[in-house]
Every structure is written in C-alpha cells, then in structure tokens.
C-alpha cells in the first residue's frame, strides 16, 4: 500500500510550527520526552501480559535503546513496548486530544516575546512534538504488540505527515530523528555524541525502571562489536533512602509522571511498614493544569505493586478535591492483577488513602507557617479545588478549614485565615461574618457592608462560586458560627445600644407606618415585606433575603442552570 498523506489538525500544526522555530533554550528535554513515552509503552505492555497470559507478545527483554549515527546525523530511540496500530498513530500523533491544549496554543500565539513563549512551553510541555526542536524530519516506526503489520509515520512537521503500512516492523516503537544541521555544529547540541546522550539520560531519566541501553563506550574508535551498556540506574526513587535522592531527581520523576515541565512546588514522602507496607512519593505541582475543572481531568496518582506499574489515575487513592496531587504509591501486598473495582472496596486501600489525605493536608499546613510565599502560590493555584473538600470530606473538614485563605475587609491585598480572623474578633463578637459575591469591589460597595464598616467589624469576602455552596454546609469554625451579612437580621449592637435603637425604631415605625404600608402595596408580589432597617448608614434602601433564602449570586447561578 502506498503511503497516505494526512494533514495535521489545526492546533497540532500550530504547535509544531512553534516547535520548529522554537528558541526554547532547553532543547535537551526532547530526549526525556521520547524516553518517557517509551517507558509508558513498556509499562502498558507488561500490564497487558499480566492481565492476559494468552497474549501473543514478546515480553522477555523489555528495554529502551538509543542509537546515534554521526554519519547520517540521526538519533533513534527504540522500545519493544506496546506499540501503536495504524489508527492509533493517526489519532495520537496527528491530533492533540488534551482539552487544555487549544487554549494553550492560543496563549502561545499571543505571547508577546520569546521569553513569554518559552515560559509557556515550559509550563505546558509538548511531549512527542518536542522532537521538532532538534530534528527537521521525524520517522516513527511502530507495531502494536500482538498485531501482524506495522505502521510507518513520517513528517517534517510542516503541515502534513505520511503514514504507510509495513510488513517487517519489530514489536514496539522506534522514533528516528534527522537532526537539524545547526545542532551538530554546535558542540553543546551534538545529540549524536555518546557523552551528551549519556549525560542527558542520567540527568532526566535515571529513575526510569526499564533499562536504557546504548552502544558501550569502547574508547577505541571503530571497534568491531562495541556491545551495549545500560545508562540509567533504574532505581525507583521511592525505594531509595531519603538522603540519597536529590531534589533534582525528585523533580525529574515528577515531570515524568505529571507530563508537566515545571518544577514541583512540594515533595512529600511517606512510608508505612508492618502488615500493609507501602511507600508513597507525592508532589504538589506549582501550577494548575488547564483542565483542572474539566470533566475528564485525571487524578495524578499512579499505583505500583512491588515496583511494577499497575495504573495511572488511581482514583481509590485520592479524593477528587485533591485531584491535582501527583505521584506514586507503591504497595507491597496487593495482587498484580488488582482492578479498580477491587481497589474501591479494599479496606487497606481505604486506610492508606486516609493517611495520604491527612499527610497532604498537614503538609500544606506546615507550608503555610514555614514558607508563606510557597503557600500563597499553592492557594492561588489550588485553593478553589481544595474548598470542594469542605463539601466532600466531612472527616477532614476542620483540617481543610485550617488551611483555607480568604480575602477580607481587614486587608486590601492579602488574604486571611479563619484562625487569624477569630483572633481579631471584636469583644462580644460571636460570629464570623462573610459575604459572597462576584468581586471584591462589588461587595465593598454593597449596602450590606455599610453597618459592618461603620462599626468596624471584619467581613470575609468570598468570590469563588464554590464558596456559595460550602458556606451553607459548614456551620462553624472554632465554635464560631459563620454568618452571611446579606441574610436575615444581623445583630451588631451592644445591649446598651440596642435599647436606644429599639426605642428609636419604635418611634420611627409609628412615624413611617403609613409609608411602609404604601410601599408594601406598591411593590406587591416583588417583596415579602418592607421594613425599617438599622443596618444602612449611607444608602437609602437595600434588599435583604431571609436567613434561609439563597443569596442573589446563587439565585443567578440556579437561574442560569434553568432551575
């Protein structure tokens, strides 16, 4: 069959263009990306053989091989993993499936200068396409394990690619890069140099659990059979002693499992011995992924059993409100055949999850006191998600409340915690006052705020949609009730003041009785009641809902949802 020519999907084409003309300074990472894909492919193959022992595949010597050829200026990364079918190649390599990518490409095109686009690339990570930073032609030859025929994909990254069926492809995938000429001239970018390759593999991929082989350094030019050497140490980081692992090694593992190119914000290590032994290595990312609030977002905790990769996105290990946590959990006493369904019901997994959750929450708490700036980044990126936990995780509600931060009338820029709010509460104040709304400015100019400002009461300003919801289900913090200032009667006065106000109101009520009755009649259906209020100091009137009514913003939200 002749080679068919396909066009890249629009987003893919734009992304490729940016790779081809990329000035991304850290081009070495293309090799990390190819190795990472190979490693995933080997994991998947091993998993299939574990699940189905009738499978007709060769899993006897799973590995990654790197071949460099100085003469032809090519570099090949090969694996004998799961491979891809013809359709998978078109689907996975020709299009970008990730829902956040279109948005990313748009941002990248709008980036004003090279350093802005460099930062964006670093934040997003571009996987396989990063090959085009160093190559002007990429050839991918692959055969899905168990299939008869293979597929050859080739492209110069300029809009189209060709795909053809081949009969003699080995199982797995090989990616061959024809390196750009300018890179071989500059010593720093000579990716055919064994030293350079070894250095990159060591730096970025040492922990990969599959052997990464390359022709052994012989010292002697042109030796007959140079043999091969394994470049990486293959030791799982979570199985090594704490002191022997460097921050850089952790960060590379993080990048491998998260497909993120930026450094993790925090690394968490846990170890449990005894009847149910496991090791966990968790990461808090330094930025939220684009699809954090999308339906198909995956949780980033991988499950291993005795160093063998079992599954990505293990939902039994992390609740949805911690879906941004990435990492690895390696359990000793599970079956390699364990399924998602079994995990969901396993009591020990449940216990492990509870410990992981507590550990993540306490890490954030420690971070807040030891490194407020880091905590600030965390909160800005993930606070909105974490607050979902107030609705989902009753057991840890207090721990979550402890690490939440909110805008407040107390501070124009910074955020406050509930704990420090409570410490600042005025003599005799019994409730924590808050208001929910679309923006700080809108709330500050709200008539509801007047009396509180006049009397010097601090009010929390909650602007996230999720705030509307959790405040309804969290009754109190530290024994102090949470009270919306936009609902019902809020009592701000001392007893002394109250008596005076009562007398005054009584007087006014009689004075204005005629007017109030008239207004109630005029407004008719639109209001429940018109009454004199003590809460306003400047505005002539405001609308107040009953304590149990929904707030105006939530009313809007429900209305938008057609309810």
Residues near ligand ADP (CB under 6 A): 33, 37-38, 41, 79, 81-84, 92-93, 127-128, 173, 259
**How far apart are CB 39 and Mg ion at their closest, in Å?**
9
Is there a contact between 62 and 210 (Cβ–Cβ < 8 Å)? yes
Whose Cβ is closer to Mg ion: residue 29's or residue 367's?
A: 29
Whose Cβ is closer to Mg ion: residue 41's or residue 474's?
A: 41
Whose Cβ is closer to ligand ADP: residue 153's or residue 421's?
A: 153
DSSP 467-516: HHHHHHH--EETTEEEEETTBS------HHHHHHHHHHHHHHHHHHHHHH
**How far apart are CB 324 and ligand ADP at their closest, in Å?**
17
**How far apart are CB 51 and ligand ADP at their closest, in Å?**
17
Task: From 468, 435, 440, 477, select the one nearest 452 (Cα to Cα).
Answer: 435
Is there a contact between 460 and 433 (Cβ–Cβ < 8 Å)? yes
Number of helices and strands (H, E) in the chain?
20, 20
Whose Cβ is closer to ligand ADP: residue 100's or residue 488's?
A: 100
User: DSSP label at 169?
Assistant: P
Alpha carbon 482 to chain centroid, angstroms: 30
Binding at 41: pick from Mg ion, ligand ADP, none (beta carbon under 5-8 Å per type): ligand ADP
Number of residues that bind Mg ion (CB under 5 A): 2
**How far apart are CB 83 and ligand ADP at their closest, in Å?**
6
Residue nearest to ligand ADP (CB): 127
Alpha carbon 312 to chain centroid, angstroms: 14
Q: Can residue 127 be called a binding residue for Mg ion (CB under 5 A)?
A: yes
Binding at 81: pick from ligand ADP, Mg ion, none (beta carbon under 5-8 Å per type): ligand ADP
Give me the count of residues in the chain: 563
Binding at 138: pick from ligand ADP, Mg ion, none (beta carbon under 5-8 Å per type): none
For residue 517, CA distances in Å to 57, 359, 510, 558 come to 86, 60, 11, 32
Whose Cβ is closer to Mg ion: residue 32's or residue 144's?
A: 32
**How far apart are CB 275 and ligand ADP at their closest, in Å?**
37
**How far apart are CB 82 and Mg ion at their closest, in Å?**
13
Region binding Mg ion by CB under 5 A among candidate stretches 31-39, 103-111, 151-159, 230-238: 31-39
DSSP, collapsed to helix, strand or coil, labels residue 292 as coil
Site for Mg ion (CB under 5 A): which residue of 37, 38, 80, 408?
37
**Secondary structure percentages of the chain, helix, strand, coil, to 5:** 40, 20, 40
Q: What is the binding site for Mg ion (CB under 5 A)?
A: 37, 127
């Amino acid at each position: 069959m002749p080679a068919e020519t396909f066009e890249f999907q629009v987003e893919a084409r734009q992304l490729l263009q940016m790779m081809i003309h990329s000035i991304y300074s850290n081009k070495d990472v293309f090799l990390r990306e190819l190795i990472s894909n190979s490693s995933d492919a080997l994991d998947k193959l091993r998993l299939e053989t574990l699940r189905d022992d009738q499978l007709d595949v060769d899993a006897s010597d799973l590995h990654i091989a790197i071949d460099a050829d100085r003469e032809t200026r090519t570099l090949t990364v090969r694996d004998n993993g799961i491979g891809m079918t013809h359709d998978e190649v078109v689907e996975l390599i020709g299009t970008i499936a990730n829902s956040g990518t279109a948005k990313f490409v748009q941002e990248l095109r709008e980036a004003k200068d090279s350093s802005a686009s460099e930062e964006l690339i670093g934040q997003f990570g571009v996987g396989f396409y990063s090959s085009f930073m160093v190559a002007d032609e990429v050839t991918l030859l692959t055969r899905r394990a168990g299939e008869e025929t293979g597929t050859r994909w080739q492209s110069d990254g300029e809009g189209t690619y060709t795909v053809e069926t081949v009969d003699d492809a080995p199982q797995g995938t090989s990616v061959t890069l024809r390196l750009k000429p300018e890179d071989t001239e500059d010593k720093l970018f000579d990716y055919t140099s064994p030293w350079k390759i070894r250095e990159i593999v060591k730096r970025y991929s040492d922990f990969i659990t599959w052997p990464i082989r390359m022709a052994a350094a012989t010292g002697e030019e042109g030796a007959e059979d140079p043999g091969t050497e394994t470049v990486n140490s293959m030791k799982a980081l979570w199985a090594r002693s704490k002191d022997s692992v460097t921050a850089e090694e952790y960060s590379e593992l993080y990048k491998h499992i998260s497909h993120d190119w930026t450094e993790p914000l925090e690394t968490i290590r846990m170890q449990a011995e005894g009847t149910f032994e496991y090791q966990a290595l968790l990461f808090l990312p330094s930025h939220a992924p684009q699809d954090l609030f999308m339906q198909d977002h995956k949780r980033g905790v991988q499950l291993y059993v005795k160093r063998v990769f079992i599954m990505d996105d293990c939902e039994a290990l992390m609740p949805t409100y911690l879906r941004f946590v990435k990492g690895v959990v390696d359990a000793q006493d599970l079956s390699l055949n364990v399924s998602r369904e079994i995990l969901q019901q396993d009591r020990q997994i449940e216990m492990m999850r509870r410990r992981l959750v507590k550990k993540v929450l306490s890490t954030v708490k420690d971070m807040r006191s030891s490194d407020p700036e880091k905590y600030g980044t965390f909160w800005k990126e993930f606070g909105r998600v974490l607050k979902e936990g107030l609705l989902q995780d009753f057991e840890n509600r207090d721990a979550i409340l402890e690490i939440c931060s909110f805008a407040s009338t107390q501070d124009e820029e910074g955020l406050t915690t509930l704990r420090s709010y409570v410490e600042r509460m005025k003599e005799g104040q019994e409730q924590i006052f808050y208001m929910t709304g679309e923006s700080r400015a809108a709330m500050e100019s709200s008539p509801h705020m007047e009396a509180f400002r006049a009397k010097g009461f601090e009010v929390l300003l909650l602007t996230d949609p999720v705030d509307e919801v959790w405040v309804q289900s969290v009754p109190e913090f530290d024994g102090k009730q949470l009270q919306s200032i936009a609902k019902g009667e809020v009592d701000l006065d001392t007893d002394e003041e109250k008596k005076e106000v009562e007398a005054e109101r009584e007087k006014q009520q009689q004075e204005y009785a005629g007017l109030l009755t008239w207004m109630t009649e005029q407004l008719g259906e639109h209001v429940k009641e018109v009454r004199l209020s003590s809460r306003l100091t400047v505005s002539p009137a405001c609308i107040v809902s009953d304590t149990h009514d929904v707030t105006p913003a939530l009313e809007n939200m429900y209305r938008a949802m057609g309810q």
